[in-house]
Amino acid sequence: MRIIAEIPHPIFKVTVFQMNGKLSVKLEKNLLEQTYKFRDGSGIENMENVHAFLTDAFYEEADNLFSQMHKNRYQSLLSAHPEDEFDTII
């Protein structure tokens, strides 16, 4: 897998990868990531197709997913590590 492009974006780090003629687009925000993989014949075969895929509506939905992912991670961490109780100090 090799990086073929990094697309500037004000919120996300957007990286495009190529492996065996297939493209993947990875979005990163904070410590989370989303990867979209495209098979041959999917219509995403070059950078022109990638740019057409990455619309404002797509980015908005991706941001909503990141918010859900953050909430899920936060809630899971809270349930895995409930607040520690301290001994009573007299």
Rounded to two decimals, what is the model's pTM?
A: 0.83
Domain extents in the chain: 2-76
pLDDT digits (tens, 9 = 90+) for 9-33: 999 999 999 999 899 999 999 999 9
- Token pair, residue 62, equals 């991706």
pLDDT of residue 83: 67
Residue with tokens 């619309």: 55
**Between residues 54 and 89, the one the model is more confident about:** 54
Q: What is the DSSP letter of 46?
A: S
CA 36 vs CA 11, 17, 44, 81, 88: distances in Å: 17, 10, 11, 32, 51
Q: What is the CA radius of gyration of the chain?
A: 19
User: What whole-number distance in Å separates Cα of residue 34 and Cα of residue 11?
Assistant: 13
User: What whole-number distance in Å separates Cα of residue 90 and Cα of residue 88?
Assistant: 6
pLDDT digits (tens, 9 = 90+) for 46-84: 999 999 999 999 999 999 999 999 999 999 888 877 666
